[in-house]
Amino acid sequence: MNRQDMREGLSHTNRCLYCDTPFYEEISWRWAFGLTDNQLLCPPCQNKLESITTIGCSMCGRPSVEKTMGKTGGSDPSGSDPPEIGYVDPSVRLPNTFIKHPDVLCLDCERWKDTGIWADHPLQHRALYVYNAHLQEVIARYKYRGDAKLSELFSGKLKKLTRSLGKIDTVTVIPLQEERLWERGFNQAELLAERFPVQHVLERTSSSDKQSKRDRSGRIAALKGAFSLSTAARQTDWQDKRVLIVDDIYTTGATLRAAAEVFYTEGASHVFAVTVARATGKMKREP
């Protein structure tokens, strides 16, 4: 038996969920007993994703190393400015898990503490990957070109990302505006959260242009009061509840904070968030 025959005997052929290229997935005893997930991306596509393994901010989950220029996946597409070194202490390398006391903050989270309720209401966030050019293309195809099956790349991993959270009372998603839902045919956050027992407790109270077209101050202003509890959710006692919000991308955190504020106003004790991507592009300092 030659090497190729041995390889085929200990593997099975998959097709990449993104580029449709066939590739071999090695079979192991862990795979046979269902202890590992099927590999859904071919090695070249998988290698273009930049997993977040260590973080420099224990609040928003900003990666320890922000300089993504020159990697296979490309630079952060969230803005024209290059990633800014200095938003986190380069010596800080925390595990990408949720912790009890998020007190190591990046400059942006320090700035959030001077805004609204955020001085004493934490929003801990964690993401799977850095939002590089390759992931931007994957998410764009998922959200805007109707390739809903791509949610399978991330839904199981998002569930694993929350293992360190402990007890959660409610899992919900960021709701889409009706016109966006009509355009896309699905809520991308809802499919990403398919491994969770999701409750639809938020609704949009206002419509606005796409957030991707706004800078940080514009996002915050546009999202003020953008969400409210649904009629049924207003009957729930939210006092001391722990809430998890699922979405696709964390850019400035404005959307997630606007949603989290609804729960904190109703008495929730903690609100957490998970996303597929974490943008790391340079944020302009406001005067």
Q: Which tens digit of pLDDT belongs to each residue from 241-278?
A: 999 999 999 998 999 999 999 999 999 999 999 999 99
Specify whether 160 is located in the same domain as 272. yes
Report the mean per-residue pLDDT for the chain.
83
Specify whether 95 is located in the same domain as 123. yes
Specify whether 191 is located in the same domain as 147. yes
Inside any domain, residue 215: yes
In which element (H, E) is residue 127 found?
Answer: strand 123-130
- At a CB cut-off of 8 Å and minimum separation 6, what does 248 contact? 139, 143, 188, 189, 192, 275, 276, 277
Inside any domain, residue 109: yes
Inside any domain, residue 187: yes
Q: Minimal CA–CA distance to 76: which of 65, 86, 92?
A: 65
Inside any domain, residue 124: yes
Per-residue buried b or exposed e for 266-276, using 16+ beta carbons within 10 Å of the residue's own CB: bebebbbbbbb
Inside any domain, residue 242: yes
Specify whether 159 is located in the same domain as 20. no
Which range (5-19, 124-138, 256-270) has the least confidence?
Answer: 5-19
pLDDT at residue 74 greater than cutoff 80: no
Specify whether 208 is located in the same domain as 151. yes
Inside any domain, residue 286: no
Specify whether 109 is located in the same domain as 186. yes
Specify whether 221 is located in the same domain as 114. yes
Quote the pTM value: 0.83
Count of domains observed in the chain: 2
Cβ–Cβ under 8 Å, residues 238 and 164: no
Specify whether 180 is located in the same domain as 271. yes
Residue 208 vs residues 4, 78, 216, 218, 254: alpha-carbon distances, Å: 56, 19, 15, 11, 14
Specify whether 228 is located in the same domain as 110. yes
Token pair of 203 as six digits: 């609704």
- At a CB cut-off of 8 Å and minimum separation 6, what does 157 contact? 128
Inside any domain, residue 283: no
3-state helix, strand, coil in the chain (%, to 5): 30, 20, 50
Inside any domain, residue 287: no
User: What pLDDT shows up at residue 285?
Assistant: 36
Which range (29-38, 55-64, 269-278) has the least confidence?
Answer: 29-38
pLDDT at residue 2 greater than cutoff 50: no
Per the structure, the complete domain to which residue 35 belongs is given by 3-46
Q: How confident is the model at residue 145 (pLDDT cuts 50, 70, 90)?
A: confident
CA 130 to chain centre: 9
Specify whether 107 is located in the same domain as 31. no
Cβ–Cβ under 8 Å, residues 234 and 206: no
Specify whether 104 is located in the same domain as 8. no
Q: Of all residues in the chain, what percent carry a pLDDT higher than 90?
A: 60
User: What pLDDT shows up at residue 244?
Assistant: 98
Specify whether 240 is located in the same domain as 158. yes
